[in-house]
Each structure stands twice: as structure tokens, then as C-alpha cells.
Structure 1
Amino acid sequence: MKKFYNFLLVAVVMLFTTVTFAQATITGKVIDAETTSPLPGANVAVKGTSDGATADFDGNFTITTSSSSGEIVISYVGFKPISIAFNGDTNVGTISLSPDSLDEVVIVGSGVIDLAEDRRTPVAVSTIRRDEIQLKGVGNVEVTEIMKNTPSVFVSPGGGGFGDSALFVRGFDDTNTAVLLNGQPINAQEDGRVFWSNWQGVSDIANAIQVQRGLGASKLAISSVGGTVNIVMKAAEKGKGGSVRFLSGNDSYFKTTAEYNTGVNDKGWAFSFLIDHWQAHRSWARGTFGQGQNYFFAVGYKPNDRHQFNFLITGAPQYHGQRWSQSEETIENDPKFNQHWGFTSDAVNGQYTSDIDSERRNFYHKPVMNLNWDWTISDVSSLSTVLYASWGRGGGTGPRGDRIRTADGQLDYFAIEQANEAIGVGGFDSAETGYIRRGSMNNHSWYGIVSNFNTELNDNLSFNVGTDLRYYEGDHFRQIIDLYGLDGWAEDGVTYTDTFEADPWAALFDFADENQRIDYDYSETITYQGLFSQLEYSNDKFSTFIQGAVSNQSYVREGRHISYSDEDRGESDKLNKIGFNLKGGVAYAINDANKFFFNAGYYSRQPFLDNVFENIRRSNALVSPEVDNEDITGFEAGYEFKIGDNFTAVANFYHTQWENRVVLQGGGINDNGTPNDTSDDFEVSNFQRGVNQTHIGAELDFIFTPTSWLRINGFFSAGSWKFDGESSFDEFNIDTGELVSSADGINRDGISVPGVAQTTAGLNARANIISGLSADGGFKYYGNSYKHDGGSLQTMNIGTIDDFVLADFGLTYNYTLGNGDRLTFRGNVFNVFDNIVISNTDRFGFFNTDGRTFNVSARYSF
């Protein structure tokens, strides 16, 4: 027995000795390579094991592992990870992590995604990276909101419905700001609009969003009067892992997201998936309910070092209740008021339910697919190509007939149903019209290819040339959504009885046949062929570039509706318009701390399709005389300076002149000379030619890191945006196409462009409080925003919108588990002080800021 105890003792000692020798302790410190600040919360993991640790407040870490040798991987969100070998107890010293360059963010399509960092000659630019997008731009916040802390950028709430915001850059709205998704243009082909509700999922799948103000870096002949927004979507990720997130916010907002990346296998394949669902009974204003999903699938394949492919498909089907601009009096009395909704009713017993519905509902589903191919031809030459397609289905609902409202101004659905049942069949062809909800449908198919060849002619000179081809076909018609108790709707001698859901999934395949389309029914075909090129020279001190593009755009309209005349049915004549742009610039670096640049450019931009025809809804006739191209001339200069490693600032000055602008506006009402009798009122559209604007301004933004735990950034922009000279004006009856009135010599000279703030300033800070815990927040000031006379012409200013300030705050806590997985908790509060004021205006009325909103989320990353 004694021998047995001695043997057991020896075995325990040997086991303890073995374990002792097998262990290793690794220590070190993690800092930001650019600012030398510590990176608290940096993740340190032993490769191939579950051993891990998190850097403390000062960036220091200690990790104990059962492996006697191997590699540790140090990573931090927004920085390039580093692997370091160890053998036994090791002090790896100070590890400097470099921020991800956008070259690292752009996994595929680097030749067709025109980012400012790809060019040595600078432009005025601000970049929002994935870590900030994930923290601030998710949930019940518009993706446009994360761009607002950029000089000369204004984000309008657009009424407050989910996805209804509008983006303004240097005073130009998003019809005149080009938006690109992985190099693919997404501005609507008919009118240049960007419907942000179609891109609700961008915040979950974007690696970066870059706002290029003014001339920008894009080589395409696109509508970048104000600037260019480049959204870089994720591709099939190189690394293996995933995450699950749960988020909730004010007014019953809830969102859940799951994603997974397989990583690259030994045959060069990688797969990435993401899916989420969100819903809320309102955004902030009443009647702005919403629900939607987001899906993303990508597959990457790299067969060798010369070729890389990536295919993705993504979409964000959604519906939401809408709200338009309001009168000043309404905003003051009830800022949440919305006249477009009401409580639904039970027609059997006349009881109102707790459910709500809106006559103004947007519903849309726009699947997007693209295939990227990057070919490294040689050490100096490459070809990058993206082939894309999208299919949009859906539209927006609205009233047709006579509304009935409750005493507080909401829709009385029960009274509407009772009145309709008494009529039986209603409509424009009967004495009693009744009320229905119609859907204005916009179904389109869009196909395109962008390809760019780049070569380094020598160490200093690079050249690229490419092509941009697009084919677009859109169908526009109205269909009945709800008859509210009517047996049918009579119009143009036809009684219509079919109804269709205002649902984005149903709209993919279930929409009205031609014989069930009310009011109007037409299609348009737009083809586009563009050629672009750039030559850039750079050395250690000096860089210069010249860039040009030429394009041909053709327009054809086809009318189908029963109410159209013979001339307006079938295909119209084809109109071809040639456009071009030419840009150039120079930059000079005095030293690493002082750099200057100057850019200039000229655009001859083709008109939008909606401005080419006399009445796009009803007529095949081209506008006479023919609409000319719009002319845009831009100049900008900038100066970048640094003070040590802690302070960087950039100042920009710009001058943009926009001449021969064509403005088409619809939705106004003409009282037909009888203001007290609404029975003969009709809807009109306004067509204006020769509108000229000049936008001049200055911008400054900076980053300051005064201590290792604090980062401050701020900006200031001031503009003078005014109309120039005279223009013409025509008013048309939308239903008949008849010219109601016209005038020449409309004088706008010197009138300030109304709508959004011409002066903005912001100050933001982020502070590391303790290990893993950080806080961020800031203020933004808006001023110098002009009111106009309320009409279509905007021929006078009648005052200014009061200056105002909004504040946001956020809190983040990161906790790394022992196996290297991470928990991230985030809370956001927007408009912290609940400052509900008029923010901006359009020609119909005013928009107010949303009151205090919030969201909280938890993410598990593995």
C-alpha cells in the first residue's frame, strides 16, 4: 500500500510539472498606430484555442494559456488585426494597430467603386466606417442619419415615416446627389430620386459610407451636383464567424438580426448570410407604423491570385405609413399630428378596433443582385467589372373620392364604409363618388454593367478607362387597394372590381392586369451608354488628374390606358440626348502636415425622363421646344493641415453654378377661379425652365485627440445659396394634360434657396470611461434656413426658420468572453433634450424634428 501511495504522489507531481511547463503567460499593450492612444477593449485570443483576454483601460493585457507556444491574434473593431508568435512566457511589448483603410473594406470591386482614397488628388470627403454604422445607424434610425455629422449635409425627416427622410448636400437634394451601391447607381432613372425606404437594410450590410461633397471622385457621368454618396456593401467575408442582435426602441420598435460567415475554405469559396425582421406601431408621429425585413446572401470565389468573384443578392421589403409636411400652426399645436390615418372599424356592429391604417402607405420590394469580377492582369494592370440587376415592385397608396373625417381630423373608416355601402357602385362616372384607396404602382426592371480597366504606365502615371451601360424599363399605373364596401369603382366607362394588397411581398407577383388599371397606365424605357476615363500623375509632393465621361441617353414612352387618345397610346418617338463631364485637379504637399488642392469641373447633364414629355402620365408628346441639357460648373479648393499626431483639420471652399435647370412639380390644386367651391378643383403640375442657382460656401472639419481616452471631432459649414436671373413657368391640368397658364420672365434673382439650413456646425466626442465602456455624443447646430412664399415659384423669401440645436448620446459596453466571443451592449438617445421645432420646409408646408427617440441593443458575436 505504501508503494502505491508513493507512486500516486510521483504521478501527481509529474502531472503538475507537465501542466506547469505547458502553460504560458503573454503580456503586452495595444495602441492606435495613428494617435498612439490605448485601445481599451481590444480582443486578444490564442489562435486555435478558447483562451482570450481583453485590453484594460490603458490598453494593457495579460493572457494565460495552456499552450506553451503558438500565435496570439490582436483585433479591434475598425482596425487591421495582427498575429504575433509566442514561445513560453512572453512580453510582446507595445502593439500598434492601424485603422482599416478603405482598401481593406472594399473586398471586391475596387476598380468600379470610386473612393476618394483611390486617388492621390484629394476631394472634400467624409467617411463613416462599419463600426460607427453598426452603433449609430441601426434600428429606428434612418441610414441617412449617420451622414448628418458631415459639413454641408442636411437630413430632413421627410414627415417622420420609416424611410421617408431626404438627404441634402451643399443645398442640393438627393435627386441631384448621386448615390452608388458598390459602384451601381441607384438614383431613380425617371427623376433622380432616392427612396431610402428601399434601402432600410443598408446599415446592416454596409462596410463603409463615403460622402464626397461637390465634384467627388466618381468617374461616371452621374447626377453629382451636390456630391456623391458611395455605399460599400459587405461581400462574402474572409473570416469565419457571425453574430445575433436584438434591438428595441420607442413606440414598440423591435428588430432582430442574425448573420453568419463561413470564411474562406481551402478551395477558395466563402459564403455570408444575413437576415432580420423589424416592426413598430409608429416611428414618432401618429400613423407612421411600419414593418419590414432585410436579407443578404453573398458567395465569393477566388480560384487563384489573379481572379476573384463575388455574387450577392439583397433586398429590404417593407411597408410604412406616411406623413407629409404640415402647417406651422399644426406643428405648434400638435407636432405628432398626421391627417392620413384612422382606426379601422367592424362594419357589422360599428365598433372601432385598436388597429390603425393609413391612406398613405408606402410598400416596396426591390431585390438587387450583382456579380463582381476582379482580374489582376499583370503587376501593373487590372480589370474590374460589376454586372447588376434589380426588380422593383410596389408603390404608394392614396385617396380617390371623398374622405369622411372624425372631429379630430382623422379618417373615419366606419363612416366611409357605411356611405359606400349605401352607394353600391361609386366613382367618377357616377353622381355619388364614394371613397376608395388606390395604389400608384412603380414596377421596374433595371440591368447594367460597369467595367473599368486600370494600368500603371510608370511609377508616377496611372490611366484607366471604362464603360457604364444601363437598361431600364418602368411600368406605372394605378390599381384599387380597398373598396371600403363599394361593389365597384366606375371610371372612364368601366367598372373596376379587383383589389390588391398593399404588401411588398404580394406586390412581387400580384398586381392589376391592364383591364383593371385605373386613372393611368404607361411604361418608359431608358437606355444609357457611357464611356469614362481618367489620367493621374503623382509624386511625393505633387499630384494632378484629368477625368472625362461622355454618354448617350434615350427615352421612349408607351401609353396603354383606355382613357388615352389614339396619339397617346403605343410608343412615342425616341429622344436621344448626349451628355458629358470634364473634371481636373491638382494637389501639392508642402510637407506631411500641410497639403493644398484645387479641383474644377463641368457637367452637361441630360434631363430626367419626367421632364421630357408634356405630361408623363398621359401624353406621348415630347415637350416643345425640346428640353436642353442642364449645365453645372464647379470649383473647389482645400487645405489640410496637421499638428503633431493629435490634430488634423481640412478646410474647403466651393462655388457651384447650376444653369438651365428644369423643375417639374406636381401635387398642387387649382381652384378654377372659385375658391369657395371645391367641386371644380383639379390637380396641376408646374413645369419651369431656365432656373439658375449659385451655391457658394466654406467648410471645416477636424479631429482632435487631446488624451489617450478622448477623441473629439467637429465641423462648421456656411453657405450662400441663391437663385439667379429669370425663368419661365407653365401650369398643366394633370388629368387632362391641358395647359392652364404660362408666363415668362419669372424673376428670382437674389432669392435665397429655401428649404434647408445653409449654416451648420457640430461637435462630437467619444470617451473611454473604463475597460470596455465608452460614451459618445454631440451637438449639431442648424441656422440660416429660409422660408418662401408657399407657392411653386419660390419668388420671394418671407422670413427664416428659427435656428435650433439637436443633441444625441450613446453608450457602448464590450465584454469579451473567455473563448474570444464578444458581447456588445449599445444604447442611443436621439434629440436628448426633446427639442421639437420646425426643421425645414417644402412648397407644401413645414417639417418638424422628431422628439426624443431611443433604442437599446445587445449583440453576441462569435
Structure 2
Amino acid sequence: MKLINKSMLSAVITLSTASVYYAQQVQDTVKSKSTDIEQVVITGVADIAKDRKTPVAVSTIKEAQIVERLGNQEFPEILNTTPSVYATKGGGGFGDSKLNIRGFNQNNIAVMVNGMPVNDMEGGSVYWSNWAGLSDVTSAMQVQRGLGSSKLAIASVGGTVNILTRAADKKQGGIVSLAVGNNDYVKSLFAYNTGRSEKGWASSFLMSRTAGSMYADGTKFEGYNYYFAVGYKKPGGSHEFQFTITGAPQWHNQRSYAITIGDYIKFNPDNDGTPNRRYNSDWGYVDGKEYGTRVNYYHKPVMSLNWDWTISEKSKLNTVLYGSFGRGGGTNTTGTVNGKNLNSFRDQTTGLYNFADIYAANRASTPDKGVLIRNASINSHNWFGLISSFNHTINDNFKFSAGIDTRYYYGYHYQVVTDLLGASGYLDKNNKNIPPNLVTAVSKPESSWNPFGGKIDDMNNRIGYSNDGEVLWYGAFGQFEYTNDKISAFVQGSVSNQAFQRIDNFIIDGVSKSKKGEIMNTKTGFKNLFGYNIKAGVNYNINEQHNVFGNVGYYEKQPFFNAVYRSNENIVSADLTNEKIFGAELGYGFRSSSFNANVNLYRTSWDDRYLRRTGVRDVIAGKTGYVEMNGLNEVHMGIEVDASYNLNKLLTVNGMFSVGDWYYKGNATAALFEDSTNLPLNFPGSTSNETTLYLDKVKVGDAAQMTASLGVTVRPVKNLSFDATWRNTNNLYASLDAFNFRSQAAADRGTLKLPSFNLFDLGLSYKINLNSKQFFTIRGNVYNLFDTTYIAESNTSNHIKTVGDFTATPTATAQQQYDAYINNPKNFYKGLDTSNQVFFGFGRTWTATLSFNF
């Protein structure tokens, strides 16, 4: 199926996310009657939407904008001027960003690279640090909001992000670039494309290194990226092959835990009552050097072989065989020494950990008495897949396609010691299924460069837990299309069987028991779950300027691995059920030579959802836990508008506005467990680890329900351009906090609403031509120009207290306690209770890039 044609290119300038530079480039391309996007990206099995044809809400970004605008931002942030998209830096570590579309997080957004799914097969997660190098090799990025046009049975509840990388036969040429930025940021890059030879061979190569620190303290990082592609197509032949391998080995110190607003203020060295946005609670100094307790290290190379066979003028077969060998994990701390956990060693002046005291305490203790060490949770995997799609043109109006999607995944999950912090060893007593295990071996938190997977740690050196996850996936899909001069319509459906097996290496067959006394085995056997979806849509081109479209879809989605085996036990959940998603959308588009606009209306309902919230910190007596929530029902609906106006060659204006109404429907249940032992942990003030969540009409949080942006680009002279972007974020609510919705009164107060904010970015580009093929480009970016202080997300929903929240004590009445609370300015920040655990957004940051194309 032909994926993108010239009408797509001429219309893509209407997208609010497209830079003016790119818009002009597209116009120039169309005028010169150049060939389309298929010459510069890998397409194959990817489902790319066509303007005024595919009836979905879509935005497309090309390589030029990514190169210009991204700088030292996180890769998903390039989408922040797209309607209904909210991307943040998460904790602020390198590659720790988060993406939400229409209020759905990235676990439920299908991220595809050249048509291959990259969401983790166990939990749907997307770890952008593993894909940080994609920004260097992406030639186009398309966001389809809603269920999208992909024929696969993928997790596209909120949308689909199609990332298309450069093809091996990109035209001959190369680039060398160097970028510098705030906090010692340095990035160097080299890339070269041979172009296609007379015999049909072509290749492309890229290598880059990025290092420095992020805006937050204690967030040093170093990452590499390599990309190699080789392609072959015999002149006049019907077969085309392309092999690609890409990977991004990296390590980075993290800021994993959201910090209370009070601590941001407390640990501000200026002591002026304002928050220290750079404060990070997850590090300290060892021998005068930065030492993080939370270090992420990973290498996830992906190899693929694409085969495109033009069987005839009417038939084509697209196939991709791919494999990935991910190795790495993330560190944390475990254990106690002298009855003290890690937080007991925090310096109350700087807010950092005092490792000198930890070393001293560990050396004075013995493993049997207890020590405090840094461990790593390994999350490695082997993943193989095959997608094949047969496409046939029946006649001028009808087409059909059918194919298969098969995958196999084996994940390795266990803990090892990465630093004994002065201790002689660590005696692991946490797991009730095995006897205490003394470990003295240390595994360095370093990513392996082996693209075929490094070694798996010795079983005897594992602590805490050791379990594997095995997933088998069999899918089939089909689609019928009808097109004429006015109408394009499609009906598509897919089915899939997912089989899950949990293997716990610490369980003794026929002996180990669950929390409820059930006998467990090392292997659970495969649990098969069947799912399907069906979608249909129609687009009607009223004339050359106006078009309307609509689509509808229903999806029965299998739950994730941790919903099948809850609370990390080898027991299949008794109330296991598919999640049900129903989506509908209407859209209108306007196209003219200077002004273009799109309007979309959508409604998505999501029932029987399961959600696990991890990293719930300091629940009781400093313990860290996780909450399992079941029976969540959500409704997401809204309106999206984006427009572009090319006033003349000197000025272009882009804008967008989106507003949503996202809320929970009915109530749900929740259960609380401790991280280190997986044992039930009672909710505060309760004698049970289970509770009802009163959520009916409560707002869905973690993403802004109202966003707007306005961008202008000015080109005063040839090869010089200035761009400025304003972005507004409003109706931003905290993440779902199970601790605050255990009564109807709490539900009536609703989800905590965070303050709105406005951000401004500036950019400048200047091109120096040496000849027709060689030129220099200078680019500068400033993000958050006015250094605005804002809260990007909150993990808690603590409202300002009322008298009723206090209980009389022997020393004070409830009224007296409330008066002391309400009259203390340290308890409040911009209308929020300072006990809320939040992540502040970055302050002013910048990058400058010099590149040479040849």
C-alpha cells in the first residue's frame, strides 16, 4: 500500500507541530515535484495516515523540525505543541521523560519504530532513555491520536506514535555536528549516507555521543548512539531488502522520587522561602564525586530485516523480521544498619545522603546484624518478532490487506548487589521461599555494548527476587479500503492471543505457598488471553478546501502481565478480564494556499482497567510500597483545534488549542503491598491492605486537560530565521493517589488541581552556503525563556486541611491544631499543601549547535 503521497506533503504544513522552516521546505519540495517521503524513511509495514484520506486525527513532524527544535530536550517533548499531548521530563534524569495523549499515559500509547512495536510486552512501558538516539536518525514522526489507523492489535488507547528512521538509500552526503548546552551538556555526531549505487546497494551510518548533567542536581549521564543500515534493490527488480541495527547504550543518575514541596523549599541554599527546583533527594558524595543511589543503565539494540516484494502492479508483500536483546537495570538501596534505613543518613542542611556515615556504620556492623547496600533491579529481555502484510488492489476503488503479527518475549527480573558501601557482604533474608543467602559479589551498573545480549548474572548472586516473564503473541489482521475522488473509507479488524507465563526461580515446587496459603510452582504454565479490535472510518472531501471525517472503534485489550499475576505471585488472578475500549471521533479540515485548520471531536471510554502504582514512598514508617487498583472505568472526551497561516515568505504563524473532560466513572478497589517483601501493608488508619476507591466523577490526572500554543517564525533575510513559541498548560491534575480517595467526602473534594503555567521558547537558525552541497548551520535554542517556576506533575492529591481533618489529642483540640496549621506559611505554596510530592519543571535551559553538511 502506498503510504504517503504529494498531497500529504503539501498538507502537512497545516500541522501545528510543524516548524515554519519545515513548512517552507515542504512547499519548495512540492513545487519542485520532488519524490515523496518513501525515499528518505523506512516504511514497509508501517501504517502512515494520509491527509484528506485517512479518517484519523494526525500530526506529522519531519527531520528538519526535530533537528532544529529538539536541542537538549527529551525526545517526546517535540510533540508538546500538538493538540492533547502532554510530555514532561518526569523526574528529570536523562531519558526519563513521560508522554500522555488525550489523558492516557505512554503504557497505553502504541510507540512504533518503522512499524515495529516497542512498548514493553509485559507492561507496555516505554523507556525513552533506551531510545534517546532515535532523535538522531528519525526522518519523520507521526502522531495519530485515538485508536489510529494501525492494523495491529496494539495498545493504542490514547494514540499511536510512528517513528520512521532514515532509509539506507537516502541521498549521498554526510553531516558532522557539535552541540553544547547548560550543565556541561555536549553532543557530537557524525553521519554519512552512500546513496544508491548503480548495482542497487546503499548504506547509511551514524554515531553520536551525548554527556553532561541535566537541570536537576546529581543527574550526570553519558549516552551513545549507533545506527547502520544497508539496503539492496536490483535495478528493475521486484525485491528490496534492508537490514538495520541501532542501539543507544547509556547510564544516567536519576531523580526517581517525587519530593515534597516542603523539602524543595527547605533544601534551598538561598533560604528565601522559594523551592529549589534543582533539588534531588537521590544522591550524595563519595570521595568528593557525585554518587547516585538511583542509576539507570541499559542497552537495547534493535535489529531488523525488511523485505518488500512487488509481486505485481496490484500486489505487494511487506515483511519485517526483528530482534532485540535488552540488558540493564536500575539501582536502589536495600537493607538497614543499626536499625537505620537510607533516609536516616540524610544531611538535614543539604538534603543529601551522608555516605561517609553509611560506610562507617557498615564497617562497624556484620552482614548477619544488618548492612545497607546499593542494589540493582535487572530488567533484561530477549525479544523476537515477525510482521508480514499482503496488500492487493482489487480495482480503482477497492483494496484489501491482510497479515500476521507474531512475537516472542522472555524477560529476566532479579536483583543483584552493585555496591556494598563498605560492608563485607549482604545477607538476604527478604525472600521466604529460600534460606538466607550471603552475597559478596558486586555487579557494576554498566551497560554492555554486546548487541546480542551480555551474560545473565549467576543465580547465587541474586537477592530479593528472581523471576522471569515469558510472553507469546499471535496476531492476525485485515483491512478493506474504498476510495474515489470524494470518499475514502476503511473497515479493519485484528485478533490476537497473548500467552503469559511467570517463572519464579526462588519458588520450590509443591512447597512454597502464596499469601493466601495456595501451593505455588516455579512455572505457572501459560495463561492464554484472547483479544480483538474492530475499527471503521470514512473521509469525505467536500471540495479542494473542505473535508470531514469520522471513525469508530472497539477494542478488547488483554491486561498487562502484572494484572495476570498480581502482587508478584505465581497465582493467576481470579477476576482476570479484558479491558474494554470504545472510541469515536469526528473531524473537519480546511485547506487553502495560505491558511489551514483542523478541528476534531473525540470520546473514548475505558472499562475494567487494572493499574499498578509503584514507588509509593514513605507509606508507613518509611516503607516503600506499591498499590494495585482494579475495576477502574474512565471517560475521555474533548475538542482539538490546530491551524497554520503563511502570511508571506517572511512570516508564518502556527497555533493549537485543546480542551478535554477526563474523569473516572464509578468506584474501584485497591490493595497495598510492601516493595521488598510483597507482603500486605495496611493503609494508614486501617487494619486492612484493601480499600474501596470512591472515584465517580473524579478527574483523571497526570496530564493537562487544557493546552494551547502559538508559534511564529520570521525570516528577515535568506538563510536566517527566528522562531518563538508560547505554550499554556491548564486544568492539570495530580496522578491518581489511592490514599486520598478512600471515602466519599474525599471524592467530593476531587483530584488536586495544580497551578496553570505559561512557557516561552526562542530559536535562531543561520545557514552559510559554501556550494550547492556543502554548508554550515548555526542553531541556538532557549527553553523556558523567562525562567518560569511551575509544577509539571504531582504524585499526591493532598488538599489543604480543614478542621475536620484533625482529631483532638491530649495536648490540643482539633481547632487548635487547625489554627496552628493554617497560620503557618510553611504549610502552603501557591495554594497547595506543601506535603504534596511533586516534580517541578526545568528552569531556563539552552543549547547551541554548529553542524556541517557535505
Please say whether Structure 1 and Structure 2 have the same fold, judged by a TM-score greater than 0.5.
Answer: yes
Is the CA contact (8 Å cut-off) linking 1:78 and 1:131 kept in structure 2?
Answer: no
Aligned to 2:698: 751
Q: Which amino acid aligns with 1:443?
A: S
> Any conservation in 1 of the 2:52–2:541 contact (CA below 8 Å)?
no
- Measured at CA, do residues 666 and 297 of structure 1 come closer, stay the same or move farther in structure 2, by a change above 3 Å? same
* 1:589 shift after superposition: 1.4
1:531 pairs with 2:481: no
Counterpart amino acid of residue 421 in structure 2: Y
SS of residue in 2 equivalent to 1:161: coil
Q: How does 1:131-150 map to 2 (within 5 A)?
A: 131-138=64-71, 140-150=72-82
CA distance in 2, matches of 1:511, 1:501: 13
User: Which of structures 1 and 2 has the bigger CA Rg?
Assistant: 1
1:8-157 to structure 2, matched below 5 A, reads 96-97=31-32, 101-106=36-41, 108-110=42-44, 112-117=45-50, 120-138=53-71, 140-157=72-89
Q: CA deviation at 1:732?
A: 3.3
Q: Distance in 1 between matches of 2:262 and 2:617?
A: 21
* 1:444–1:475 contact (8 Å) kept in structure 2: yes
Local SS of the residue matching 2:317: strand
Q: Distance in 2 between matches of 1:686 and 1:328?
A: 23
Contact 1:130–1:206 at 8 Å: present in 2 too?
Answer: yes
Is residue 2:584 matched to residue 1:635? yes
Match of 1:391 among 305, 325, 348: 325
Q: What SS class does the counterpart of residue 159 from structure 1 fall into? A: coil
Name the aligned partner's letter for residue 486 of structure 1: A
Question: Cα distance, 1:791 vs. partner?
Answer: 3.7
Structure 2: tracts of 5 or more residues without a match: 1-7, 14-20, 265-273, 336-340, 430-435, 513-518, 682-687, 742-746, 797-835
1:429-828 matches, within 5 Å, as: 430-431=368-369, 433-492=370-429, 493-505=436-448, 509=454, 512-561=457-506, 566=512, 567-616=519-568, 619-625=569-575, 627-642=576-591, 644-668=592-616, 678=621, 682-740=623-681, 741=688, 743=690, 746-787=693-734, 790-792=737-739, 794=741, 795=747, 796-797=749-750, 799-818=752-771, 820-828=773-781
| Identical residues among aligned pairs (%) | 39
Decide whether aligned partners of structure 1 residues 506 and 257 sit closer, same or farther in structure 2, where only a CA change above 3 A counts.
closer
How far, CA to CA, are the matches of 2:223 and 2:709 in structure 1?
Answer: 32
My pick for the range that moved more, 688-697 or 628-637, is 688-697
User: What displacement does 1:621 show?
Assistant: 1.2
Contact persistence 1:181–1:232 (CA under 8 A)? yes
State how 1:292-371 maps to structure 2 within 5 Å: 292-303=223-234, 304-323=236-255, 324-331=257-264, 332-345=274-287, 353=288, 355-371=289-305
Structure 2 counterpart of 1:247: 179
TM-score w.r.t. the length of structure 2 is: 0.85
Give the drift of 1:815: 1.2
The two structures, once aligned, show a CA RMSD in angstroms of 2.4
Structure 1 residues 610 and 118, CA gap change in structure 2 (3 angstroms): farther
Q: 1:792 to 1:216 in 2, by over 3 A?
A: farther
1:767-797: CA deviation from partner (whole Å, max 9, x where unpaired) = 2121111111210000011247844565452
State the match for 1:860 in structure 2.
Answer: 852
- Matched residue, 1:65: none
| Equivalent-residue separation in structure 2 for 1:789 and 1:268 (angstroms) | 55
Aligned to 2:685: none
Separation in structure 2 between the aligned mates of residue 656 and residue 459 of structure 1, nearest angstrom: 34
**Are positions 1:228 and 2:160 aligned together?**
yes
- Contact 2:765–2:777 under 8 Å retained in 1: yes
Q: Which moved more, 1:533-542 or 1:324-333?
A: 324-333
Q: Please report how far the alpha carbon of residue 586 of structure 1 lies from its aligned counterpart in structure 2 after TM superposition.
A: 1.3
- How far off its partner does 1:505 sit? 2.4
One-letter amino acid of the counterpart of residue 247, structure 2: G
Q: CA 1:736–1:285 in 2, change beyond 3 Å: closer, same or farther?
A: closer
Q: CA separation in 2, counterparts of 1:120 and 1:399?
A: 53
Q: In 1, are the aligned partners of 2:103 and 2:701 still within 8 Å (CA)?
A: no
Separation in structure 1 between the aligned mates of residue 760 and residue 658 of structure 2, nearest angstrom:
18
In structure 2, the partner of 1:215 is: 147
Residues 627 and 738 of structure 2 are in contact (CA less than 8 Å); yes or no, is this contact kept in structure 1? no
Report the Cα offset of residue 668 of structure 1: 3.0
Question: Aligned-pair distance for 1:181?
Answer: 0.6
- For 1:455, what is the secondary structure of its paired residue? strand
Residues 596 and 638 in structure 1, CA contact (< 8 A), matched pair in contact too: yes
**1:138-287 equivalence runs, <5 A:** 138=71, 140-280=72-212, 282-287=213-218
1:439 partner amino acid: A
CA distance in 2, matches of 1:97, 1:806: 37
Residue 614 of structure 1: how far off its partner (Å): 2.9
Post-superposition CA distance 1:106-129 (Å, at most 9, x none): 3x433x111112892321010010
Amino acid at match of 2:601: F
Q: Does the CA contact (< 8 Å) of 1:646 and 1:705 recur in 2?
A: yes
For residue 790 of structure 2, what is the aligned residue in structure 1?
A: 837
Instruction: Decide whether aligned partners of structure 1 residues 262 and 466 sit closer, same or farther in structure 2, where only a CA change above 3 A counts.
Output: same
Looking at structure 1, the residues matched to 361 and 230 of structure 2 have their Cα atoms a distance apart, in angstroms, of 56
Q: CA deviation at 1:328?
A: 2.3
SS in 1 for 2:262: helix
2:157 match: secondary structure: coil
Query: 1:439-489 CA deviation, whole Å, 9 max, x = no partner?
Result: 000110000011111011110111000110000000000000001111100
Q: How many matched pairs?
A: 754
- Once the two structures are TM-superposed, the CA of residue 100 in structure 1 deviates from its matched residue by 6.7
Quick check: which one's strand share is greater?
A: 1
Cα offset for 1:665?
2.1
CA gap 1:77/1:448 in 2 versus in 1, 3 angstroms = same
- Over 3 Å counting, the alpha-carbon distance change for 1:690 and 1:452 in structure 2 is same
Q: Structure 1 residues 146 and 791, CA, compared in 2 at 3 Å: closer, same or farther?
A: same
Q: 1:521 to 1:80 in 2, by over 3 A?
A: farther
Separation of aligned partners in 1, 2:24 and 2:601: 36
Q: CA deviation at 1:682?
A: 4.6
C-alpha separation between the residues in 1 aligned to 2:70 and 2:308?
A: 30
Q: What is the identity, as a one-letter code, of the residue corresponding to 2:587?
A: G
In the TM superposition, what is the alpha-carbon distance from 1:737 to its structure 2 partner? 4.1
- How far residue 144 of structure 1 moved from its aligned partner, in angstroms, is 0.7
Segment of structure 1 superposing worse, 780-789 or 467-476: 780-789
How far apart in 2 are the matches of 1:726 and 1:364?
39
Q: Distance in 2 between matches of 1:372 and 1:330?
A: 52
Structure 1 gap ranges (5+): 1-31, 38-58, 60-74, 83-95, 346-352
- 1:511 Cα deviation after fit: 5.0
- Partners of 1:610 and 1:33 lie apart in 2 by 42
Cα deviations across residues 134-166 of structure 1 (Å, max 9, x unaligned)? 11124x211111111100000122011110110
TM-score by length of 1: 0.84
The residue aligned with 1:412 is 354
8 Å contact kept, 2:735–2:793: no
